[in-house]
Amino acid sequence: MAQKTTIKEFEAVFPKLEAVLLEHANSYKLPKQALDWYKQSLQVNAIGGKCNRGMSVPDSVSMLLGRALTEDEYFKASTLGWMTELLQAFFLVSDDIMDSSITRRGKPCWYRTEGVGMIAINDAFMLEAAIYTLLKKFFRDHPRYVDLLELFHEVTYQTEIGQLCDLLTAPEETVDLDNFSMEKYRFIVVYKTAYYSFYLPVALSLYMLDVATPENLKQAEDILIPLGEYFQVQDDYLDNFGLPEHIGKIGTDIMDNKCSWLVNQALAIVTPEQRRVLEENYGRKDKAKEAVIKKLYDDLKLEQRYKDYEEKVVGDIRAMISNIDESHGLKKGVFEAFLAKIYKRSK
């Protein structure tokens, strides 16, 4: 999620999109109470994140063109970027309900806000619907309009199958390490995160500029999916080995029974005795048991294992980037920018 645009510039686009969305609701004479509610949901759920995914659209478009964007180009690219943010908002609002989460972005989760509750499910739907309202408003005459619609449908579906697998693999109540495997881990990470966070913004950029040939899309996918996987592995690594003052929170993956890269690595190399320790201490809401797992991770040298993985995967990704065929409008810089943002990040 490379960036040259600033969050300030990117956020300045949102009010125009919000006006379109409220005008659309208004065209149906939605009663005032409901209109105010929708506005509040957009404000709380669509805005306020880091917008890395959204901003990577104008940045990628600029990289593909090899120049700064005109005002109209910036608006169009950022509008596509905001659609990725709306898609994420749809997923986060509902994921927080499914995970019984408490806070999001330092505030109570939307469904835990006074008076909201399960109405949040319908609010999530309306965040998703906003994508198609904006696509119709701003891209109906674009030569790749159908592809944009299908791209959002497919990436939404991919994220949903990743989410389903995640929910079935690591249910909150039951700890069953037999459920975990690196294969399932990879499936979850690729579909639940990589497609919408990494592939989607670049594919949108390629469609916007009408350079989304099958070859360009394939090259982008081949690089961005491993990159997205690496990003999530890193996230799991930082949850345990990162500094709370860097990552801005205290990791809870062990206590939350997460199907994390670390536990999957551990499972692959434990002795029968260590496996027993894992079984007895993983996924419990108990600080002492968490400490036992942390100690086991140290004994298993998972920090070094992560560093080896990182060097290997980054080497592979760099090789793929250097092999990119730039003759049909794709640019290595798009991927270099993503990688630079991620490599050896500490937060």
Residues recognised as catalytic: 50, 90, 95, 99, 104, 166, 192, 231, 235-236
Under a CB-based contact definition with an 8 Å cutoff, are residues 341 and 63 in contact?
no
Q: Determine which helix (DSSP H) or strand (DSSP E) holds 104, and give its type and residue range.
A: strand 103-104
Task: Pick what 314 binds: a copy of itself, Mg ion, none; C-beta below 5 to 8 Å, kind-dependent.
Answer: none
Q: Which of 243, 253, 247 is nearest to 185 (CA)?
A: 253
Q: How far apart are CA 15 and CA 8, in angstroms?
A: 12
Binding of a copy of itself by 327 (CB under 8 A): no
Choose which of 18, 59, 85, 95 interacts with Mg ion (CB under 5 A): 95
Position among 4, 9, 103, 164 found at the interface with a copy of itself (CB under 8 A): 164
> What residue number has its CB nearest to Mg ion?
99
Cα separation of 313 and 239, whole Å?
19
Q: In terms of CB distance, is 179 or 274 closer to a copy of itself?
A: 179
For residue 299, give every residue at least 6 positions away whose Cβ sits within 8 Å of its Cβ, in sequence order, or none. 274
Q: Which helix or strand (DSSP H or E) is residue 108 part of?
A: strand 107-108
Cβ neighbors of 25 (< 8 A, separation 6 or more) are 34, 35, 38
Q: Provide, rounded to whole angstroms, the least separation between the CB of residue 248 and a copy of itself.
A: 27
Give 80 or 302: the residue with its C-beta nearer to a copy of itself: 80
Q: Is 229 among the residues that bind Mg ion (CB under 5 A)?
A: no
**CB distance 310 to 234 below 8 Å:** yes
Eight-class DSSP state of 201: H
**# residues contacting a copy of itself (CB under 8 A):** 45
184 binds a copy of itself (CB under 8 A): yes
> What gap in Å lies between CA 325 and CA 335, rounded to an integer?
13
Residue 314 DSSP label: H
* Segment interacting with a copy of itself (CB under 8 A) among 51-59, 69-77, 128-136, 322-330: 128-136
Structure tokens of 296?
Answer: 């086991």
Which partner from the list Mg ion, a copy of itself, none does 235 bind, CB cut-off 5 to 8 Å by kind?
Answer: Mg ion
Residue (144 or 192) nearer to Mg ion, CB: 192
Shortest separation between residue 143's beta carbon and Mg ion, angstroms: 37
DSSP collapsed to 3 states, 323-340: CCCHHHCCCHHHHHHHHH
What one-character DSSP code corresponds to residue 28?
A: T
To the nearest whole angstrom, how small is the minimum distance from the Cβ of residue 165 to a copy of itself? 5
Q: Which residues bind Mg ion (CB under 5 A)?
A: 95, 99, 235, 239
Q: Which residues bind a copy of itself (CB under 8 A)?
A: 25, 28-31, 33-34, 37-38, 94, 97-98, 100, 118-119, 121-126, 129, 132-133, 136, 145-146, 149-150, 153, 156-158, 160-161, 163-165, 167-169, 183-184, 187, 191
